[in-house]
Structure 1
């Protein structure tokens, strides 16, 4: 397996040693109790960019988009990311802190065969040391996938009272971060353990120094008439100063990516802010962070893009989010709303909507054996044998296509005699392997026949699968045919066959 640094494509290959004997024989081988000073963390944020050079590299790729944030994470003007607090604890007596933050950042570069998801960072400070933990998922066709939860991906420098605390707040400012071996593995070797990462800054507040998190209730929230209903939405815990006092939207419709930039998918929206007076399209946010408004909704509608939305087929929500396209995710809430299907009449039927996520897997190559013995032959004859089956499993879920090619070097003997690589030819074969879970397997095509004398001295396809139909498992094999020149010296010959999957 070959792995490259950032900026280079990856390939996976497997090699088999091969030995051939001519004349006599022929062979081809291919935590403790809490203290009285410990308090719950109720707010704060963490700012980090992983590594500026990595962001620049990924931003130049073909991801769509190359870098994406979700679940509360936001992108700052300098390209770093801010993650909102999700809790934790701080001991004011010892300084021990475990500050958790939420949000997800995805680095995607299909052209270089990887997607890395970084989520839910945590800062742990204890005994004069500090560390940054996170969930990291690596999906790549060039190596086995990696999935770690709260792995220590960086150590943080602790010095001169930084991080420090006071008045219910813990603050760390521009803490130097160093990649750990676990972090290097999770990021697939782009950088080595010990490399410097972007500095980390964080705040964590304890006690009731700020407003409670935003919450929304909907009345009624279930059993609504699909033809139309008016719902009452009440909220609390909203911050009147958030988003520079511009307020937030209250909308109805399905969840979509970057909903704050795609408000056209919603059926109805009201703008709620501290300065608004109630109208058909606006309502007022009270000074204590509460509001009350109504929305007229129905189960089916056409959004502003012309797309038909059916809330009987997809789950729809009352959604709140910061107004005017703001990236501030602190005002986001999602309250589900359901409708009664026509004709059910509120009887005894019960329904549960089930969702599933398929993340996709790797593109892998395996071989049934490591040595193939060809029969003994005399000069001028052809020694034939079967290549061990090579199994290709395309579990990426993309149907992106693949090819498996083979190539050999010259056969050599211990005395220095040579038989040219092109003297080894093959007749490829390829079949699909049935999916035991009943899926529809793609198609595979064997490579062209290569005759001895015009054989594997150059790379030739053993089997291929086209774009659009490459998903599944496939077995590829070949009959090997080694043409022995009349002038070849008797002896044992060795070569190496390399199969490369890309």
Structure 2
């Protein structure tokens, strides 16, 4: 029998970035977070006022084993933590009623926290996102001050209730693809029974809920939180009646899942052909391989077995994995079964699949009873290419006005469009890395003939760091910003019209941080390590590609857009000028 193969390729595009820095002064403030955690802005609705205000919730934890080989066991997220500062202003009503005193006051508080993990077993071997809800019963402390000593004169203050707690282990079974641990999506919490947070049952809208009480619940301060930001109304108010949901929820921990060498898995195929007629038999989409992302999947080589009646043209003239079957002149009386296998790029062969072909007659006798015939409707769908396109223009980051302190600029990627008209089952992904960014006078190097890029970090040199002469020249420079100072929050969408039968899906890559302030906090915590630009997990470096977006096997066809919000940490010592670098995007 003849072998058939299908192949995949890579497409690369580069976006230019520009950042202007001016030597005049403004001020900024950031929230500092510890390494290995993610601080997410939540829009929290107060049960007392019915309005939303912003609270920072920080989740953390360590996944182990990491990486893990698929099929070898579970991933355990241990050392889980949750922290925040819950406003206690509403509890001043307890002081005004004589239920609390100035100084320290113990406040019973219950916190519900929902965390999620992607690409794991959600029951019965089905892959999906698993959510774990933990309920914490705490005694928190607020300090009340009253300068004039007279309650209810509006000079009273209450310090926030500090939450800094350990969470139970979160154990999951990976089923393929990396496991992202994050704050769960809104609506992930169960209904809270009547009498616990309110006289009646409460169904939280968010994924973190807190309930603090005074005098056994005579006074309640509840907050229903979900990733997003409050729409302050009117400014400069600290709350508002509405909020804007977060475009995506960043992961605070990622478990890397490596698939073992596994043979392709193939599904059976069926076809119906009229006597003497010819029809294509397409098995090019019947096989998939969990090793696809690791180079062990396609191209597949297909091998077919013997045909008992009719002929099967296996010359591959119609395409890889597509055969022409010509039926015999008469119905053989039973379906014809042809076996096939697929062998992947690593040489592993699937179990035998089957092609079951039913032969249909062209006439029937209705002299004594009714008879029926079947006409086969054939709709050819012809595969084409997969392309990557980007919007024209530069990615211009927000100006940074030098003020003697580290700062962060923001910007948005020029959107890219992936058009996948290949017509096969293969997945795709878009990865990206950021070169170092340099102003006029920045040190540079040439990774390829005719290509010159700024260089001030080992990550920026990528594999060329192996050149001792180049390695000796790499150093921090006031006119160069390491590419690893760039973080992002990817977004993605299916943009073709959805009609019945469409299965297209796209997944955004993990976020570096929840927002610009959280990203700068991570840079500050990491500090200026001996290896410039490798202190945090940014998107910089020629070997540091990160996933912007991806589409899974069997759901990758169609038109998709991907973009990202960008955050660039700018050192306080940076020189004034216009800094440029390349955001290199690869579709594979």
TM-score range, shorter chain: 0.3 to 0.5
Instruction: Give the TM-score taking structure 2 as reference length.
Output: 0.33
Instruction: Give the TM-score taking structure 1 as reference length.
Output: 0.38
User: Larger relative CO (CA 8 A, sep 6+): 1 or 2?
Assistant: 2
